[in-house]
Amino acid sequence: MNEFKSHNHSLVEFYDSIADTFDIQKLKALIDLDNADAVLRAVLPIEEMRAIGSFFTGQALSTQAVERFGKAISAKSVVLDPTCGTGNLLIECSRKLSTKASLTETLKIWGGVLRGYDIHESFVEATKLRIILEALSRGAQKNCSLSEAVTYLPGIKTTDAMSICKAQLSDITHVLMNPPFSNWPSPKTNYWNLGKVNAAGVIFDHMLRVLPSNCEISAILPDVLRSGSRYDKWRQFVNTKIDGKISIIGRFNKKTNVDVFIVNGTLQDKIKDHRILWSAENVALSQIGDYFDVCIGPLVAYRDPQDGSLAPYAHSNNIPLWEITTEVSEKRRFKGRLIDPPFVVVRRTSSPSNRFRAAGAIIAGTIPVAVENHLIVIKPKNGKISQCEALLKALKCSDINLFINEKIRCRHLTVGVMKEVPFMGNDDE
């Protein structure tokens, strides 16, 4: 993260250059919430940004997150961003606070309200510098050195959010966060399974365990936590801690291909008779799961050895969409479960921006097929291809796109969502 220090140096130089007059447009650019992500992209490769999960919250999303607090931020509040990055969310919170005539008076008030933690020292430094410049942009007069100004922001420091304990947070009234979306090893405690899990879910889980009761929460989280079947137990845990609701936002920003949602509410010791509505409760009277058995393709290409009988091999690249394939020409040895035609396959990789969320095809014929796990298998319970044809036609309907987008906005469809898709079949065919 040393590459970011050059940016911090420009912030320091600007502060030192301020006299009776200064370039207000340049100042506003340095604290612009939409510029922060562009600055990071200019100094870090996208691979490193993904690895550390650093994507900074823009103006529109920051505003939405702050506006969702039930209780207004005031000089009596204590607001924490446990993964503050370069301070965008804290800057937006500071705009709910008044300024005084001088910088020192203003920062003494703001410093009592704003707290921020990050594991990257250069980010923490940038957060302090940008908050100081924010105060100047709103009319506070510079009346101290930068080294003195920084001392008025003691709650913003280099700290790992996962090391925070309950005793350190007893006075927090508001928590605002956009935790990293990268993958971490599972904590292997409580309900967490083995393997890699989303870091945002782990951090949010930890904060719910250490924050005080009645604390207001507003968190920007990746959609996989809201809709992914792997995070069902995570959602169950959140339901026991927060009296709140979610808002589906959509794509994080134009350059970050991740959809997000905001969960906001009040932390409580025990939640009674309340359940967060994680997706629209538009349960259809008749669903795909009523007429079809749905599963993920059993074959995992990188893991399963080329053993067993030679079978037709279906994957995303050799099954033409919206067509009926009667003979899969590609073959592969596979000793796992083969699927008897006819059945529909739907590509698991799917974006809300796609024309069709559930892009499908029919595999017919008489020979059992090895189906790769990048495809969802939808096999008619009555065994008839006419049922498959009716489903394939239905999957092109705009209403089904809308249904799926309300249910899930991450880039992989799930078996659970596909089972719930509205479909009026015919058991008597």
SS3 of the chain: CHHHHHHHHHHHHHHHHCCCCCCHHHHHHHHCHHHHHHHHHHHCCHHHHHHHCCCCCCHHHHHHHHHCCCCCCCCCCCEEECCCCCCHHHHHHHCCCCCCCEHHHHHHHHHHHEEEEECCHHHHHHHHHHHHHHHHHCCCECCCCHHHHHHCCCCEEECCHHHCCHHHHCCCCEEEECCCCCEEECCCCCCCCCCEEEHHHHHHHHHHHHCCCCCEEEEEEEHHHHHCHHHHHHHHHHHHHEEEEEEEEEEEECCEEEEEEEEEEEECCCCCCCCCCCCCCCCCCCEHHHHEEEEECCECCCCCCCCCEEEEEECCCCCCCCCEECCCCCEEEECCCCECCCEEEEECECCCCCCCCCCEEEECCCCCEEEECCEEEEEECCCCHHHHHHHHHHCCCHHHHHHHHHHCCCCECCHHHHHHCECCCCCCC
Mean pLDDT for each consecutive 10-residue tract of the chain (429 residues)? Answer: 75 88 86 78 64 75 94 96 95 96 97 96 94 95 96 97 95 96 91 91 96 96 88 92 88 80 89 71 73 96 93 96 96 96 96 91 96 97 95 92 85 90 73
Q: Can you give the pLDDT at residue 45?
A: 63
Backbone angles phi, psi at 370, to 5 degrees: -85, 120
Structure tokens belonging to residue 44: 């870090």
Q: Can you give the pLDDT at residue 407?
A: 84
Q: Can you give the pLDDT at residue 281?
A: 55
Q: Can you give the pLDDT at residue 288?
A: 95
With a CB cutoff of 8 Å and minimum separation 6, the contacts of 292 are 344, 378, 379, 380, 381, 387, 391, 425
Nearest C-alpha neighbor of 221 from the set 270, 181, 166, 188:
181
Structural contact between residues 228 and 169, judged by C-beta atoms closer than 8 angstroms: no
Q: Can you give the pLDDT at residue 5?
A: 77
Rounded distance between C-alpha atoms, residue 252 and residue 58, angstroms: 9
Structural contact between residues 156 and 114, judged by C-beta atoms closer than 8 angstroms: yes
Rounded distance between C-alpha atoms, residue 285 and residue 421, angstroms: 10
Say if pTM beats, i.e. exceeds, 0.95: no
Q: Can you give the pLDDT at residue 353?
A: 84
Rounded distance between C-alpha atoms, residue 91 and residue 233, angstroms: 34
Residue type, 376: I
Burial letters 351-367, b for 16+ CB under 10 A, else e: ebeeebbbbbbbbebee
Cα–Cα distance list, 364 to 284, 348, 370 (Å): 28, 20, 13
**All domains in the chain, ordered by first residue:** 2-267 (3.40.50.150), 288-420 (3.90.220.20)
